[in-house]
Structure formats: C-alpha cells, structure tokens
Amino acid sequence: MRVVCVLLGVVVGAWAVVLPKLTEPPCDSLEAEAAAAVFQDYINAQRTSGFKYALNQIDKIKIKTLADMEIYKMELDLLETKCHVLDPTPVAACPVRTKAEVAVDADCDVAFIKSGGVLKVTAHRCKTEPESAEDMCLGCPQLLALNDTNALQMATVSLAAFNNRTANVSISKYAVLEVGRLSTQVIAGGPHIFAEYAIVETNCTTTDDDNCVPLNKTVATYGFCRAGSASAGVAVDCRIFPPQLAVDPNTNVTMPATSRPVPPTNNTVPVSGIMPLLMADMMLSAESAELLEPVKVASIIPIVKRQAPAAETVAPSGQPVPVPFVPICPGKKKHF
C-alpha cells in the first residue's frame, strides 16, 4: 500500500507540473495592449487594398501558459482610418473615421504564440461592417456602391484634372488603382458626390497620349486622391507618397523604388471652385482564418483572473466601505 501511495504521489506531482495555467489579465493591462499593438501592425501589413485599421478596444484576453510558450486568445475591436494601406503614415497619426462619415468597425478573434519573448500572430478571423444607419445623422453622407456610374465618372474627371495640373511640363501621369469609397451628401440644397481612390504611376507623362499602362510595382510611385463634385464643378486633392524602399536581389542593397523625379506630394486642383470634401466609405472586405483551437485538457485547467483590487472609501463611522468591483474586460475605448 505504501508503494502504491508513493507512486500515485509521483504521478500526481508530475501531472501538476505539466498542466498549463489559464489566466485572464485585465484588458487594459500592459501585456494586453502590447499584444493588441502587434496585431494592429500585423493586419495592416497584410492588407493590400483598402484602408488601415486602428485599435479601438480590447474586448477579451486569455493567456495559456505552457512549459516553453504562452498562447494568447483575444477579441479585439478596430476602426477604419482615413489612411490608405499604401500610405506610409504611421497608424498612430492616421485619423479614424467618425460615425458621421459612416465608420467601419472590425471585430477580430486573434490567436498568438509567445515564445522566447517574441509574440507572433498565428491565426485571426475578422468581421467588418459599417456603423448601422440608425447611428447616422440627418444630412450625413450616404454610401454609394463602388460601381456607381456617376461617382466613377466624377473620379475619372477629377484624376484628369490632377494629371493636367501643370501646363507644358512633362511629369508622370497617374491612373486609378483602386476606388476606396464613394458617397453622396446633400449640401446647401443640392446633392454632392465624393470619391476616395488610390492612384498609380503609369509609363506616360502629361505630354503623352492616353494609351498608358501602370508601371510595375517595383518602380511605380503611388498616391491617394479625395475628390468632390456638385453643380459648380469638381475639386480634387491628391497626395503622392514617397517612393517605397526595395532591396536589390543581386546586391542585397536597399535602394529607392524609383529614381525618376517625383511631383510635389500635395496638389489641390480646383476645376470650377473648391467645396468641403466630406467623405464616407464602404469597406466591407473581411480578413478570415481559422482560430487556434484550445488544448483538449482546457476543462481541467485552473483559470486565474487577475482582478484589480477593489477601491475603498471611509464611512462616517470610520470603517472602510468596499466599492463594487469594476470589470476588468472589456477595456476602455480609444475612440468611440
């Protein structure tokens, strides 16, 4: 009997050592914020079209600690910014679209693995959708389909105006790369149409004909335009991004993607007067992947909730009175 007890004790002790531990830290903790920042950078680097996203709120976090790694599972809420994915502006400096502009929200389930102090995204699934119509104000922009004929025609006219911004000067001509959002709004009694679209450098200059082909992405420069039209005319504001850096595979030397002269980065071209450009967007593409499945023994893993201690006040009698516990999740909203 003594031998059986000893062996049982050894087995139980060994099992206790290998059991992982599941913790739920506060959503506003440093470790949660650090992981959310990793995913924000990851998702924006993965996107090849549309707009960048910024973290709005951490809804949930669970960390499973194993012998040689930690597994994070998080629920994150992100908001679309006004910076296109080709725009090199850091996300922290990109304005988030407001509800009045029909903000686009992304709810993401994310799995990470942390090993050797390095946190890596292993799987994610995001659902994106615009704010509901009931949250929109009277007279706010209304989204248009991205194939709306009138809006696309306005975008074409506005880009032609940008390409013709200089007279008798041979500089690069640009073509529409991607239409990001189209909208309409009633301003001063009349309907206005607005467009946001990315542009790419072509093999033509402004003194060439219209038979132009976009340059290869390794040498082309890119830009982003915001345009608006009404009965008074069209206005367009385009920003050309600095050339991206590329690595020469033959020399392994980092060099500019193009050596051709780049026009000024900000160009506003009024065709027949300038109007306020209030934009709205429909960004309905979804990133998706399978989430990392929990370990099968999760049902016997002890959950440790790292709750912040409740604050206390002092009653007239001098005795401390506990304040009701404040939930540690979800975290605070950074925007709305």
Distances 18 to 9, 22, 66, 237, 306 between C-alpha atoms, Å:
15, 13, 8, 61, 22
Could you name the CATH architecture of 142-270?
Roll (3.10)
User: Counting beta carbons within 10 angstroms of the beta carbon of residue 203, is it exposed (0 to 12), middle (13 to 18) or buried (19 or more)?
Assistant: middle
Determine the straight-line distance between the first and last CA of the chain, rounded to whole angstroms.
65
Q: Is the pLDDT of residue 302 over 60?
A: no
Q: Is the pLDDT of residue 333 over 80?
A: yes
Least confident residue range of 20-24, 51-55, 81-85, 223-227: 20-24
pLDDT band at 324 (very low <50, low <70, confident <90, very high): low
Per-residue model confidence (pLDDT) at position 284: 23
% residues pLDDT > 90 (the chain): 54
Per-residue model confidence (pLDDT) at position 247: 41
Three-state SS for 2?
helix
Q: Choose which CATH entry (3.10.450.10, 1.10.3860.10, 3.40.30.10, 3.40.950.10) describes domain 19-135+284-308.
A: 3.10.450.10
**What DSSP element (H or E) covers 16?**
helix 2-18
Per-residue model confidence (pLDDT) at position 146: 96
Give 123-132 pLDDT, tens digit per residue: 999 999 987 6
Q: Where are the domains of the chain?
A: 19-135+284-308, 142-270
**What DSSP element (H or E) covers 199?**
strand 190-205
Give 6-54 pLDDT, tens digit per residue: 555 554 554 445 578 999 999 999 999 999 999 999 999 999 999 999 9
How far apart CA 53 and CA 105 sit, in angstroms, is: 9
Half-sphere exposure in the Cβ direction for 214 (13 Å, CA): 14
Token pair for 155: 């975008």
Distances 33 to 61, 89, 128, 303, 335 between C-alpha atoms, Å:
10, 21, 21, 21, 15
How far apart CA 216 and CA 299 sit, in angstroms, is: 53
Residue with tokens 């604050």: 311
Per-residue pLDDT, averaged over 173-200, amounts to 93
Q: Is the pLDDT of residue 296 over 60?
A: no
Q: Which residue has the higher pLDDT, 229 or 230?
A: 229
Same topology for domains 19-135+284-308 and 142-270, yes or no?
Answer: yes
Q: Which residue has the higher pLDDT, 174 or 12?
A: 174
pLDDT band at 5 (very low <50, low <70, confident <90, very high): low
Token pair for 76: 């994150």
